[in-house]
Amino acid sequence: MITVIIIAGRDVMRYSRQREALHNLLCSTKTHPDAEWLYLNLKKSLPNLSLGTVYRNLKQMAENGEILEISCKNSTHYDGDISRHYHIFCENCGKILDLPREYISVSVEKNNIADITGYDVLFQGICFDCKK
């Protein structure tokens, strides 16, 4: 008899300087950058960094729930803040801003279409900087 034990959950992950730097940078900025921006900014401290590594790690961290992915017009942005909050896409300058939870209330009733496991609200608007 053969017993196969499948252990669910993420694979063992080794420490990597690149992934740590990526996570640190993402947590220290509020600009919701894309992969390209992260790559260019990390190049300063990690000159050998490659874009493939950035994408690989972002994908991995997003799957593990360590960071958030924000799907926006034709490109993906990332957020190191995984607390429940929402985003506003400024139609004028393209920036993505945080909209804290207290401004919004969302309630979902039971339905027979799907079991809802989560949701994301992306607002459109004109940010305070652009209004001026």
Partner DNA sequence: GTGAATGCAAAAGCTTTGCACTCGA
Partner DNA sequence: TCGAGTGCAAAGCTTTTGCATTCAC
Which residues bind to DNA, rule: CB under 7 A? 11-19, 34-36, 46, 48-53, 55-57, 59, 74-76
**Residue pair 109/75 in contact by the 8 Å Cβ criterion:** no
Judged by CB, which is closer to DNA: 1, or 9? 9
Compute CA distances 22 → 58, 59, 82, 84, 112, whole Å.
8, 12, 15, 21, 40
Residue 80 identity (one-letter amino acid) = G
Residues 43 and 37: their CA atoms lie apart, in Å, by 10
Give the residues lining the site for its own copies (CB under 8 A): 69, 71-74, 76, 88, 90-91, 97-99, 102-128, 131
Q: What is the Cα–Cα distance from 22 to 90, expressed in whole angstroms? A: 25
* From its own copies, DNA, none, interface partner of 4 (C-beta below 5 to 8 A by class): none
Shortest distance, CB of residue 102 to its own copies, whole angstroms? 8
Pick the closer one to DNA by CB: 9 or 108.
9
Q: Radius of gyration (Cα) for the chain, nearest Å? A: 18
Residue 2 binds which entry of DNA, its own copies, none, CB below 5-8 Å type-dependent: none
Give which of its own copies, DNA, none residue 49 binds (C-beta under 5 to 8 Å, depending on kind): DNA
Q: Which helix (H) or strand (E) holds 56?
A: helix 51-63
> Among residues 82 and 116, whose Cβ is nearest to its own copies?
116
